[in-house]
Copies of this chain bind each other. A is one copy, B any other.
């Protein structure tokens, strides 16, 4: 397969597609993809799981399952989520075909054409696509270094004439911004949202990938804080803790929302793949998931540190970023007048590729940002590629460009 084929799911605009074809040549260093590294997948563990399945389990794997998910997987996932402090007993789990499907189904539940919904800016491109496909009017609020800008969020909430149908947030290791909301920001956010009757969709695909034990308090999800009176629809995924090819995610949501989501899922794909659900269940149930997460966390931390060090060494003045404390991404802020698509073209000529900022702006405009992924690139290539990215930025910043 061409080097880019696996990242098409994150790179949607036609402009980006054109660049992709340019970038699709041997030796290109990729900082573009939001996927785990092929070389980190737990292949031996999956082999062991597959070959340990009983004939009866294999039959279940080949058959339709219930729309909500296989009962065994819901059981093992409940245990996994309970350990993370999530209020499993007070909510219902729906297994979905990736967490994007969970977000898409929730969007269908809440959005009528023209409805206002709130997001962070920047925002996960998959969520933007899903919300736009239901003709949402997306209002976005800037992120700061420790979470959504609460002042601007409050202003927005107070000035809107129509109540937003929900707010979509990624408090832990944001895609693309890498941001980890502080506990304080989370608490203030909950206070701000209280009594407004606006559900929160909390996208938590990355929180297992933290680099520092001392962040455990900050990592507590909004759903785990379990504030009274706010409907929190929690979504997450097996993509980062086993592999995206399973196409399995989930939502943990209040029962009345669950009932609507299950009906929608019935008409969307009937159920998620039993074949991969059986495997995911064993991966959780055996406890292998914990050692695997430890392993990839260590590796991603190493890559993030290498990228941070290289950026600190090579980036020109005027370009800033927050050192990532987990997740997959570093989000570079360029001077206002520098267009990251120009930088991207230059970077591709020189042999590296990343994603330009406006991809993650719901309005598709704000473009003085760059998303660099370190998840899918070994340290050696990071060390080789970052000076190239820095050069490309420097050239586009120079007055003679």
Residues of A at the B interface (CB closer than 8 Å) are 1, 5-9, 12, 35-36, 38-39, 41, 43, 46-47, 50-51, 55, 58-67, 70-71, 96-98, 100-101, 104, 108, 126, 129-130, 132-133, 239, 242-247, 264, 266-276, 279
Contacts and interface: CB of A to CB of B under 8 A. Distances in A.
B244 A64 contact: yes
Contacts of A47: 58
A133 B62 contact: no
10 contacts: A1-B66, A6-B63, A9-B266, A50-B50, A100-B267, A100-B269, A101-B269, A130-B267, A269-B269, A273-B276
A179 B298 CA distance: 59
Contacts of A242: 62
Contact of A98 (B9, B12, B269): B269
A95 to B, nearest CB: 11
B244 A63 contact: yes
Nearest to A39: B59
Given A43-B59, A50-B50, A246-B275, A64 B269 contact: no
A101 B47 CA distance: 29
Identical subunits present = 2
A126 B270 contact: yes
A39 B60 CA distance: 11
* Nearest 9 interchain pairs by C-beta: A62-B243, A245-B274, A129-B267, A247-B273, A9-B270, A41-B62, A38-B59, A97-B269, A62-B245
Contact of A55 (B8, B43, B98): B43
Contact of A64 (B6, B62, B63, B108): B6
Question: Residue among A5, A43, A50, A108 with the most chain B CB within 10 A?
Answer: A5
A268 B104 contact: yes
A1 B71 contact: yes
B71 A5 contact: yes
A1 B60 contact: yes
Contacts of A39: 59
Please report whether the interface of chain A is mostly helix, strand, loop or mixed according to DSSP.
helix
Given A58-B41, A247-B273, A273-B246, A5 B66 contact: yes
A267 B104 contact: yes
A24 to B, nearest CB: 12
Nearest to A100: B270
A46 B64 contact: no
B66 A101 contact: no
Contact of A65 (B239, B245, B268): B245
Question: Residue among A55, A64, A246, A273 with the most chain B CB within 10 A?
Answer: A64
A27 B63 CA distance: 20
A64 B100 contact: no
Contact of A58 (B5, B43, B67, B239): B43
B38 A63 contact: yes
Question: Residue among A12, A51, A126, A270 with the most chain B CB within 10 A?
Answer: A270
Question: Residue among A67, A129, A245 with the most chain B CB within 10 A?
Answer: A245
B267 A126 contact: yes
A104 B126 CA distance: 19
Nearest to A273: B247
A104 B58 contact: no
Contacts of A133: 108, 264, 267
A48 to B, nearest CB: 12
B245 A61 contact: yes
Contacts of A271: 9, 247
A64 B245 contact: yes
